[in-house]
Amino acid sequence: MRALYIAIATVAVIAIAALMGHSPTPSTHIQPLNQSLTGLIIANYNGFIGVNITAMADLIHGNSSQLSALRGELSNINSGLASLYSTYREALSEETVNYSEARRLAAEGVALDRELYGETKGAINELMAVLPQYSGLAKVINLSIAQELTSINETLNGVLAAPSNAALSLYQPTALAVNVTGAVRWGQAVNVTGQATGPPSRPITIAVDGETIRTETRGGEFSASIGTLRLAPGNYTVAVYAAPYGGYGPAAYTAMVQVIGVPTRARVAVSWVAVAGFPFQVGVAVSPWLARRVNITIAVGGEAINVTAESPAVVEEIRAPLDWGTGYQPVAVAISPSYPLEGGRYYASILVVNPLQIAMPIAFTLGLAVAVKRSMRREREERVGKEERGREVKALAERLSAGTKRLGPNGERAVKALAGAIRGVEAVTGVEFAPSMTLREYLAAASQRLGEGARGEALRELIELAEPILYSAHEPGEEEVRRAEELRRVVAG
């Protein structure tokens, strides 16, 4: 059914394109009845021939029972129209040759005509049910087919009712030329003018959106005006039909006309600010207000809300999602075409504030400030502690070297490394190096707290390395100094 929809839409587009720059062009007589439903009303439009019903049925894809039934109905109508047209021509051909055969064929044609009338009406109703947006076109198709079947029925009944010595000649072809206003504003009339060959005064039927207007030619010309006050803005098919009359056959012509709606104006008002997680309001005022109700779609932040307005102004409350970021959000308002307004799109923007998004940078900044302050305090404390420990190490080094020989630079560095190690052990174990203690006595006391491990072994080796420097004339070399400093680091951990 989707393919049928596309086929009908394509026909409409081609018809609109053909209207551009169109001047009246005489049509030939009515096309054979085995053309498609749409072909019966557009076949004479600039020579365009509609797709065959069978081909149209093949385009309807899908396996639903409804689509299968519609394909079957279209196929039956296609075969029936071809059979009716053949019977119709044979009955008229036999009229002057074999009247009995003509009456038999006419009776057969009348029965087939009645059957096709019902089948066509059923197919049209199903088309309208499946494609309600094309109900106007479906009504025009139904009217055109009904008029054609009616005229054939009247002709065949004439054969049945005529005396046996009467002779009915074949219809002469009708040339039909029509000019239709291509586009009008709602409220203005659609003017239809044209010419039809045949008697000076013959009936003409004009159909638009299911409404029929009947007029007649005067001197072969006709004209009519179609009001648009009842039509919603959109595209419509205008079908013009000349029934068989005065020895001239039927002819049909279709054209497209666009009814342009009244320009819609709308004012969109939004709250001055929206807070994420809380509701805000969007107001829409529509003018002029000519419709009983208008469908409005409000789109913001990827969400769309449909509102049916029954007054010129409507206010809708929308909750801002928590994931909206701080900044401006666009608000799009779409007003659907509604008799007689043509609709339109309108835009606004609203400032969104997300408290969480704002609070996080502030909290991060405060946390960073606290962390920097603590880091600076630790650095200051470490610096002060380092300076104090440096003074303590220096004092202990001076104490260790007091009363000994004058130390050289390497000796001072080695003794300073020993003093730093002792201060480190004091801090870890709580065992102080009393003034009355010797290095060996302190080693014994501290080893009980340090236990057997790298620190204790490092302290022992460092004391053994420093004793010759303090108590003999030994001056350490660079290698011994580096080893002393390395052992101090091991003791410090």
| Co-location of 399 and 449 in the same domain | yes
| Co-location of 104 and 18 in the same domain | yes
| Co-location of 348 and 374 in the same domain | no
Cα separation, 446 vs 449, whole angstroms? 5
| Co-location of 334 and 477 in the same domain | no
DSSP string, 197-233: -SSSS-EEEEEETTEEEEEE-BTTEEEEEE--TTPPS
Kindly report the three-state secondary structure assignment for every residue of 150-161.
HHHHHHHHHHHH
Domain finish residue from 353, 373, 401: 353
| pLDDT of res. 67 | 65
Domain that holds residue 208: 2-257
Highest mean pLDDT among 3-12, 34-43, 310-319: 310-319
The answer to whether residue 34 scores a pLDDT higher than 50 is no
3-state secondary structure of 414: helix
* Dihedrals phi, psi of 200, to nearest 5 degrees: -60, -30
Do the Cβ atoms of 301 and 285 come closer than 8 Å? no
| Co-location of 247 and 291 in the same domain | no
pLDDT in tens, 391-436: 666 677 767 766 566 778 888 888 888 888 888 888 888 888 888 8
**Based on the structure, what is the number of domains in the chain?**
3
Grade residue 217 by pLDDT with cuts at 50, 70 and 90: very high
Domain finish residue from 199, 233, 257: 257
Average pLDDT over residues 106-116: 84
Count, in order, helices (H) and strands (E) of the chain.
11, 16
The answer to whether residue 13 scores a pLDDT higher than 80 is no
**Residue among 193, 191, 246, 254 nearest 222 (CA):** 193
CATH number of the domain where residue 276 is located: 2.60.40.2950
| Co-location of 277 and 135 in the same domain | no
Domain finish residue from 223, 257, 291: 257
| Co-location of 211 and 137 in the same domain | yes
| Co-location of 131 and 37 in the same domain | yes
| Co-location of 24 and 161 in the same domain | yes
Grade residue 449 by pLDDT with cuts at 50, 70 and 90: confident
The answer to whether residue 249 scores a pLDDT higher than 90 is no
| Co-location of 411 and 464 in the same domain | yes
| Co-location of 245 and 321 in the same domain | no
| pLDDT of res. 422 | 86
| pLDDT of res. 16 | 37
pLDDT greater at residue 49 or residue 94: 94
pLDDT in tens, 190-208: 999 999 998 888 999 998 8
| Co-location of 342 and 365 in the same domain | no
For residue 99, the surrounding DSSP H or E stretch is helix 99-130
pTM above 0.85, yes or no: no
Residues 6+ apart with CB under 8 A from 88: 33, 109, 152, 155, 156
Cα separation, 401 vs 413, whole angstroms? 12
The answer to whether residue 133 scores a pLDDT higher than 80 is no
| pLDDT of res. 53 | 44
DSSP E strands in 261-390: the ranges are 265-270, 273-275, 279-287, 294-300, 303-309, 313-319, 327-335, 344-353
Do the Cβ atoms of 109 and 88 come closer than 8 Å? yes
Q: Look at strands 251-260 and 183-185 and give their pairing.
A: parallel
